[in-house]
Amino acid sequence: MKLLKWLNRYVEELFLVTILCSIVIVMLYQIVRRYIFNASLSWSEEFCRYAFIWFIFLALPYSIRLGSELRMDAVISALPSKANRTLKLVLTAASLLFTAFLFFQSVTAVQESVIAGEISTGLHLPKQYIYLSMPVGFGLAVIRYIQVILPQVTHREKEA
């Protein structure tokens, strides 16, 4: 149970820090090789680009967990308390539905990539590993939105 709580709290952070550190290390290594040894790497820019793509899609569920995703707080906070809670619930549910839609669309994109058999040029990596960042990120975002909605719904039921 403690492992699940720890994963719930730190899973995105762990991956985000690891990805960001790997981008920095690879880029520094590339700079040293290029400007000191005059020998560039053929794969470093592609690695950093794909790592950044993974970073972006894993930052989505992290921002949802922190409650820092984009929204119109000024409009929501100007409403009365009950309307405020209702609008937050509706907006979160709409975000959940949209993210679930994106999750299913991204699964299709990964399947099509597997069928096409695309390979990246620098790393010679099957592209489905890059495309896999979409369903992982959107899937975790769906879970995070559910975690946000459940307390709102149970709180609303207590008030009724």
Contacts of 147 (CB under 8 A, 6+ apart): 8, 65
Report how far residue 95's alpha carbon sits from residue 102's, in angstroms, rounded to the nearest whole number: 10
In angstroms, what CA-CA distances link 9 with 4, 12, 84, 126, 146?
A: 9, 8, 27, 31, 15
pLDDT at residue 131, as a whole number:
95
Q: How many helices (H) and strands (E) does the chain have?
A: 6, 0
pLDDT at 145 over 90: yes
pLDDT at residue 74, as a whole number:
67
Per-residue confidence band for 158, with pLDDT thresholds at 50, 70 and 90: very low
Cα pseudo-dihedral 148, 8, 101, 135, rounded to 10? 160
pLDDT at 96 over 80: yes
Half-sphere exposure of 94 (CA within 13 A, CB side): 7
pLDDT at 159 over 60: no
pLDDT at 18 over 80: yes
Length of the chain: 160
